[in-house]
């Protein structure tokens, strides 16, 4: 079985072909094409939703064609089309969703809507390289830490396709904090990679920034840290930017690693999965491996940031939920998901 995965929830237009030769067998990554809009949004220091949507419109068809060509796959070789249904930017999601629906309709293929956050977690079932087949998949139950530009969530995954949300950020997402602090330090968007690069050059490593532990909960908070950085940058005796970047990265990675490790211990899971763009951070990968009481799985950096392969990978667990392309279907935005999480917390 071969699935084409399409992802357009934020600022990456991505498509990929993923296959599986036996039911429940390991996944093979046949191709993964990502057209990043990073440079387009650098001038504004963040994603402008309409600009993102229009860029997806321009990039989508060439990206899909390339993903099929790289996989050496014809339309007849596909069994389903999977696409991100949300959460994400509504305009951006609509471009990918409608394109996937059109392709599925034209080719008579089933359409599998995929949750973006679940997609990030599913990247842990992919091999590290194109042309390879996954080895040693993670053991369940697992605890998943999803850290991206839009989300910071701790999820308990008892079985495939089933997640219980233990906690998440109460304000900024971890990646959002990297992006905002980058702006304070005059670094380009997206802020994660340049902050990590600058932090690695710090010669003095003394500054200690606050950590919001929010004890007794699996929630996170990064807005106080961002304010602390802003105050430090503005103070007359501010340390050099490299030391600030280092102290910031330490604070974020310390909280994420310790809270994820403690939750993994408490829940008695068999593995700890890390996913999302911030999981590409070297220091976070290191700290989580230091703290975790159970085996840690983190996709290679190229499969941590948004990609189509993770959407196809997640779709293999939802084959029974495929829908005809002409059915009444909709996307769901990040705002809709956040409101649902708040409602659930109030009634819990
Ligand atoms: O998962 P992703 O590609 O998109 C969303 O779903 O949001 O994550 C993008 C986020 C951005 O905030 C970016 O700054 C962050 O991931 N990021 C990193 C690194 N690479 C990307 N953060 C820290 N260190 C990195 N190396
Ligand atoms: Zn993402």
Which residues are near ligand 2, the ion (C-beta closer than 5 Å)?
148, 306
Atom of ligand 1 nearest to the CA of 11: 4
Does the CB atom of residue 278 touch ligand 1 within 6 A?
Answer: yes
Report the C-alpha gap between 97 and 79 in whole angstroms. 17
Number of helical H runs and strand E runs in the chain: 12, 10
Atom of ligand 1 nearest to the CA of 173: 12
Contact 113, 83 (CB under 8 A): yes
Residue that has been written with the tokens 């963040």 in this structure: 46
Report the C-alpha gap between 57 and 294 in whole angstroms. 42
Ligand 1 centre and the CA of 328: distance in Å? 33
Which burial class, exposed, middle or buried, applies to 235 when counting CB atoms under 10 A from its CB (0-12, 13-18, 19+)?
exposed
Ligand 2 centre and the CA of 233: distance in Å? 29
Does the CB atom of residue 172 touch ligand 1 within 6 A?
Answer: no
The pLDDT assigned to 333 comes to 87
For 30, phi and psi rounded to 5 degrees?
A: -90, -30
Count Cα neighbours of 319 within 13 Å in the Cβ-side half-sphere.
Answer: 12
Cite the DSSP H helix spans in the chain: 38-42, 49-71, 90-107, 116-122, 174-184, 192-199, 223-234, 241-267, 282-291, 301-304, 308-315, 334-347
Ligand 1 centre and the CA of 130: distance in Å? 21
Ligand 2 centre and the CA of 312: distance in Å? 14
Residue that has been written with the tokens 């606050």 in this structure: 210
Q: What is the pLDDT along the chain (348 residues), one digit of tens a residue?
A: 999 999 999 999 999 999 999 998 999 999 999 999 978 888 887 889 999 999 999 999 999 999 999 999 999 999 999 999 999 999 999 999 999 999 999 999 999 999 999 999 999 999 999 999 999 899 999 999 999 999 999 999 999 989 999 999 999 999 999 999 999 999 999 999 999 999 999 999 999 999 999 999 999 999 999 999 999 999 999 999 999 999 999 999 999 999 999 999 999 999 999 999 999 999 999 999 999 999 999 999 999 999 999 999 999 999 999 998 888 788 888 888 888 888 887 877
Ligand lying nearest the CA atom of residue 38: 1
Does the CB atom of residue 267 touch ligand 1 within 6 A?
Answer: no
């Amino acid at each position: 079985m071969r699935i084409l995965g399409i992802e357009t929830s934020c600022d990456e237009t991505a498509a990929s072909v993923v296959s599986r030769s036996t039911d429940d067998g390991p996944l093979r990554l046949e191709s993964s094409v990502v057209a990043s809009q990073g440079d387009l949004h650098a001038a504004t220091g963040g994603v402008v939703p309409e600009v993102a949507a229009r860029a997806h419109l321009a990039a989508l068809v060439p990206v899909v064609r390339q993903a099929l060509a790289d996989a050496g796959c014809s339309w007849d070789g596909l069994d389903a089309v999977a696409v991100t249904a949300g959460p994400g930017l509504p305009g951006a999601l609509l471009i990918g969703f409608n394109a996937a629906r059109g392709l599925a309709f034209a080719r008579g293929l089933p359409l599998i809507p995929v949750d973006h956050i679940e997609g990030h977690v599913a990247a842990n079932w992919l091999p590290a390289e194109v042309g390879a087949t996954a080895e040693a998949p993670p053991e369940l139950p697992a605890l998943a830490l999803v850290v991206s530009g839009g989300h910071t969530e701790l999820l308990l995954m008892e079985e495939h396709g089933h997640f219980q949300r233990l906690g998440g950020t109460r304000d900024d997402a971890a990646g959002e904090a990297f992006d905002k602090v980058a702006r304070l330090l005059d670094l380009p968007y997206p802020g994660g990679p340049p902050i990590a690069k600058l932090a690695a050059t710090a010669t003095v490593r003394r500054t200690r920034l606050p950590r919001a532990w929010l004890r007794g909960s699996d929630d996170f908070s990064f807005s106080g840290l961002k304010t602390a950085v802003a105050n430090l940058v503005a103070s007359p005796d501010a340390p050099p930017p490299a030391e600030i970047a280092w102290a910031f990265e330490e604070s974020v990675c310390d909280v994420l690693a310790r809270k994820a490790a403690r939750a993994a211990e408490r829940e008695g899971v068999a593995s700890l999965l890390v996913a999302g763009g911030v999981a590409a951070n070297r220091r976070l990968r290191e700290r989580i491996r230091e703290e975790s009481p159970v085996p840690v799985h983190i996709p290679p950096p190229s499969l941590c940031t948004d990609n189509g392969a993770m959407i196809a990978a997640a779709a293999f667990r939802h084959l029974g939920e495929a829908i005809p392309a002409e059915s009444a279907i909709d996307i769901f935005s990040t705002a809709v998901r956040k409101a649902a999480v708040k409602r659930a917390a109030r009634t819990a």
